């Protein structure tokens, strides 16, 4: 066996292992973890598209932007209007706007536009992590039997989590969508 064929076999084995790991991770993830993986993928592809635009590597920018658009499309199609139409409409508008910014970035070859997309995915990731933490906290309180009756469950209009708007907004909440909770 030559060094070159050994290297190709090693690379193929490593790729197979990475694919198997990812498949296992996806198949064993809870719905909210799948959504987080989707958001993180969008962030990674937005960075890749931006780096490609900045370095004038248009193949890399095309691949990154295209994959970022695929993530945004999945986020849009994953919205469920049957639970909270107003929230879903706002999210649909936001995701559609960000999608249009990826189109603008590709057409204008402007890395600054992809910075906007990256900031969106950073914010979305941060928000989703906070929602997941709140879900764990609420589940822990629910298990302990100490959940307050006025504590609305967190709802998300994505994935298999059921969206609903809380009747009370948190003091100092800067969210234009009010207080939201997730229910498992």
| Nearest CA-CA partner of 103 in 89, 119, 114 | 114
At 17 the pLDDT is 78
For the chain of 184 residues, list the mean pLDDT of each consecutive stretch of 10: 56 75 73 91 97 97 97 95 93 97 97 97 96 89 62 45 35 36 37
At 29 the pLDDT is 73
Q: Does domain 3-127 have CATH number 1.20.120.340?
A: yes
At 98 the pLDDT is 98
**Tokens linked to 73:** 């499309």
Q: Where are the domains of the chain?
A: 3-127
At 140 the pLDDT is 83
> Rg for the chain (alpha carbons), in Å?
20
Global pTM value: 0.67
């Amino acid at each position: 066996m030559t060094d070159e064929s050994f290297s190709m076999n090693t690379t193929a084995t490593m790729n197979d292992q990475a694919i198997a790991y990812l498949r296992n991770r996806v198949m064993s993830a809870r719905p909210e973890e799948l959504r987080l993986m989707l958001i993180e993928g969008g962030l990674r592809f937005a960075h890749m598209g931006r780096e490609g635009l900045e370095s004038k590597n248009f193949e890399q920018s095309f691949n990154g932007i295209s994959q970022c658009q695929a993530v945004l499309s999945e986020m849009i199609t994953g919205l469920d209007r049957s639970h909270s139409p107003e929230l879903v409409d706002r999210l649909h508008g936001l995701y559609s706007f960000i999608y249009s910014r990826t189109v603008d970035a590709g057409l204008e070859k402007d890395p600054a536009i992809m910075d906007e997309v990256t900031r969106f995915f950073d914010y979305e990731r941060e928000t989703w992590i906070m929602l997941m933490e709140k879900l764990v906290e609420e589940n822990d309180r629910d298990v302990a039997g100490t959940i307050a009756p006025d504590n609305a469950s967190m709802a998300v209009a994505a994935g298999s989590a059921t969206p609903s708007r809380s009747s009370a907004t948190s003091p100092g909440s800067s969210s234009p969508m009010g207080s939201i909770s997730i229910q498992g």
